[in-house]
Structure 1
Amino acid sequence: MRKLLFVLPLVLFWACGQKGNVSIEGKIDNADGKTLYLDHLHVASKTTVDSVKLDEEGRFEFDLNVTQPEFYLLRLSNGKLLTLLAEANDKMLVYSKAENMNKKYIVEGSNGSKLVKQINDTLNVTKAKVAKIRKQLEEKKNDADFSTVSQNLVAEYVEAIQAQREFSIDFIMQNATSLASYMALYQKIDNNTFTLNENKDIQFVKIVASSMRALYPEHEYTKAILANYKTLEKRMANLNMAKMIEEKGANFPEIKLPDTNGKEVALSSFEGKFIVLSFWASQDPNSRKQNKTLKKIYDKYKSKGLRIYQISVDQDEELWKKAIKEDKMNWTNVCDVENGSSYAVRLLNVQKVPANYLIDQRGEIVGKDLFARRLEEKVAEYVK
């Protein structure tokens, strides 16, 4: 028993002295008397997890326990800060100066934090180039040769923006499994200019989202990027539709399919009306459920100008017509039974049923895949 009592205090001492699986040590020069905060950076907020008042040497040490990669800020009470990406077993060494903490600093012992530094350093260079070009444009606006000078400067501006975009793309492709790529996706050159600035750049959101979902399915950043990707997908679908409409020179895409009597009905025949362009299948339970909602909405608003142009993807004519009769669908229902209305499905990029587009009286798409109460609210907004 005496031996056990001797060992126990040592065990307790060891347990109390354990540190987290991440350590952050370093030195901030010229920060005597200032407080250094360690903030956990969330998607839309931050929480302070530790702090220390720095002496004239500016040395600090923080310990953390992390189970997955997390963003942290080292923030001085003068407002200067720098971003770190902590991963399990990182032993970080950080050095900086109080006056330009995020511009010139050194970090070792953390691959994630080095990647964050790489993208931030590159962005800072681009920002400096852009700021210089804008200043030159302002200074030379009254020069006699401003037209020529401005063309050259604008060309430099575009080149700088494009170089930053290409860097971000290369970075993401090489580091898609790192949370640092999340930062690379959403960096801005200024308040109105993202580094990834083209519609097709949504593909890189998808790459990072897929990687994060596989590696960290419950991470708050994973949930945020998946939600953002879903929003961007819808926006792209509407943009693609608008582009197609513009190219065709019509208010909305022309679709002409046979109804239950074999008579071809064109979507354009409803021009000037509010249209619910709906896709469904007779054997799909959710489609049949949606038909009940459509019935209720149509009966309520048809006298005020609502029209439904419903496209079935059925390839069995009898089942299609039987469902129309059972659901008492008294609006326009069309179907290319031979091909499952494949042309219309491809044209509007329909991935599943039920699906819908809402087209207002001016031919503009004002909604997509709205169901139940949200569908009725949108219809009521336009049909009065």
Structure 2
Amino acid sequence: MIKNKYIFIFITILFLFNCTTKKSSKVILQLENHHHDTVYLKELTEEPYGYIDSVIINKKGSGRWKLMPSYPAFYSVYVKNDKKQTFTLFIRPGDYIHVKAAGKNFDSLVIEGSPESEEINKLLKRRNETAKEFFAWIDSLHALSDTVAEASKKAHRYDSLISACFQRHREYSIDFLERNRYSPVAIVALQQYIGDRPVFDLRNDFDYFNRIDSILMSRDSTVETVQFLHKQVDYFRAVRKIPDVGNKAPGLSLPDTTGKIISLESLKGKYVLLHFWASFNSASRAYHPWLKRAWWKYHWKGFDLYAVSLDRSRQAWVNAIRQDGLMGYHVSDLKMWNSIAVNQYHFTELPVNYLINPDGVIVYKSIPAEKLDEVLNKIFTQTSRP
């Protein structure tokens, strides 16, 4: 009984401690030309029921919110029935933010008490101005009605102006990232679009995404947008490991049916079809007649097969090779989906293949059976030309 009493006291103290340590945040509004308008403060979240509050601006143009955020977050401030009249705040627990704006569209926006919110709105204002200029040039391009020759000259000029406009904003955004690399507001810059064109592309600008993710996960991991960025970067990091056309083929060294280790690299100098299959997989077996024909037709021209089986049974593997009349090099570590080959090439279904050129570079991926002869014929027709 005494023990239960102490537990109850401990829980009560813990509860009171949590309540007293939670910091309130305040947002004070001074908005000209918005008298009697209802203005909303809405948390930008993927959750269906994020924080939302509203205030009616009084005749002096004033309004305020008091909130108790558990973590830093982005919020949209907008006027009822007109979400075009909007700006963004990044609110941390304990912030005291004063917002002043004139005009119906929150012109001359001034934010005090939140440098991060100031930075966001400078960026978004710059982005909107760039988009306006960007689309004005595009409209001019579409409106050309000159002769073909004149239109071609002007189109080239407009295209250069459009590219320069986009590049200026990208350079501004790179500088923004550098200034704000320790704040979640950097993510706003990473996720920008001008029309349907991303300012930063995850594939081509991965280093920017990776750097910001590394910094923010060590400083602001409770912020939802930071968690979203981390998932995005993690996913792309995994995707980048999947070999693709234009990449060097990852090395493999596996035992053949006699136990002799055969390396993929030992076939360098030939066109090699790296083919993953299993005797128990019907789609794999259906591919084999095409493989057999391709080997006999093109082997003498410099083509070979390096077939990796995901079997567990050596006997089943060997029997399938014999039954299907397959030639080439056949290897397996007999570990099924735990094979090192799966770890190297990150595939999830069978069959799958990669055509590797004499320099060890992947030139085709996942060639359908009925297209195999066409692909090889094209390659060896080109290579046989003087």
Give the TM-score taking structure 1 as reference length: 0.64
Instruction: Pick from 79, 82, 100 the counterpart of residue 76 of structure 1.
Output: 79
In structure 1, distance between residues paired with 2:130 and 2:34: 28
**Closer, same or farther in 2 for the Cα pair 1:365/1:218, shift >3 Å?**
farther
Tell me if structure 2 keeps the 8 A contact 1:168–1:196: no
Tell me the residue number matched to 1:39.
Answer: 42
In structure 2, distance between residues paired with 1:212 and 1:19: 22
Structure 2 unaligned blocks of 5 or more: 1-20, 292-305, 322-329, 334-339, 356-363, 367-386
Q: Is residue 217 of structure 1 aligned with residue 217 of structure 2?
A: no
- Opposite residue 180 of structure 1, the aligned amino acid is V
SS at match of 1:30: coil
SS at match of 1:241: coil
Q: CA deviation at 1:309?
A: 3.7
Task: Kindly report which structure 2 residues correspond to 1:207-286, keeping only aligned pairs within 5 A, or say none.
Answer: 207-237=211-241, 241-244=244-247, 259-260=255-256, 261=258, 262=260, 270=273, 275-276=275-276
Q: CA deviation at 1:56?
A: 3.0
Tell me the residue number matched to 1:193.
Answer: 197
**Closer, same or farther in 2 for the Cα pair 1:219/1:311, shift >3 Å?**
farther
In structure 1, distance between residues paired with 2:130 and 2:121: 14
Q: CA deviation at 1:38?
A: 0.8
Tell me the residue number matched to 1:127.
Answer: 131
Q: Is residue 57 of structure 1 aligned with residue 60 of structure 2?
A: yes
**Closer, same or farther in 2 for the Cα pair 1:361/1:334, shift >3 Å?**
closer
Q: CA deviation at 1:236?
A: 4.2
In structure 2, distance between residues paired with 1:229 and 1:98: 40
**Closer, same or farther in 2 for the Cα pair 1:154/1:44, shift >3 Å?**
farther
Q: CA deviation at 1:188?
A: 0.8
**Closer, same or farther in 2 for the Cα pair 1:201/1:327, shift >3 Å?**
farther
Q: Among the aligned pairs, what percent are the same residue?
A: 15
Tell me if structure 1 keeps the 8 A contact 2:184–2:220: no
- Opposite residue 110 of structure 1, the aligned amino acid is S
Aligned length: 298
In structure 2, distance between residues paired with 1:214 and 1:255: 35
Instruction: Pick from 96, 101, 114 the counterpart of residue 91 of structure 1.
Output: 96
**Closer, same or farther in 2 for the Cα pair 1:299/1:175, shift >3 Å?**
same
Instruction: Pick from 163, 182, 203 the counterpart of residue 187 of structure 2.
Output: 182
Tell me the residue number matched to 2:120.
Answer: 116
Structure 1 unaligned blocks of 5 or more: 1-17, 246-252, 277-293, 313-322, 336-344, 367-384
Q: Is residue 25 of structure 1 aligned with residue 7 of structure 2?
A: no
Tell me the residue number matched to 2:144.
Answer: 140
Give the TM-score taking structure 2 as reference length: 0.64
Q: CA deviation at 1:169?
A: 2.1
In structure 1, distance between residues paired with 2:250 and 2:63: 67
In structure 2, distance between residues paired with 1:117 and 1:83: 7
Tell me the residue number matched to 2:327.
Answer: none
Tell me if structure 1 keeps the 8 A contact 2:74–2:88: yes
Q: CA deviation at 1:31?
A: 1.7
Tell me if structure 1 keeps the 8 A contact 2:309–2:317: no
Q: Which structure's CA Rg is the greater one?
A: 2
**Closer, same or farther in 2 for the Cα pair 1:112/1:57, shift >3 Å?**
same
In structure 1, distance between residues paired with 2:189 and 2:30: 27
In structure 1, distance between residues paired with 2:152 and 2:263: 57
- Opposite residue 242 of structure 1, the aligned amino acid is V
Instruction: Pick from 278, 281, 286 the counterpart of residue 304 of structure 1.
Output: 286
- Opposite residue 70 of structure 1, the aligned amino acid is A
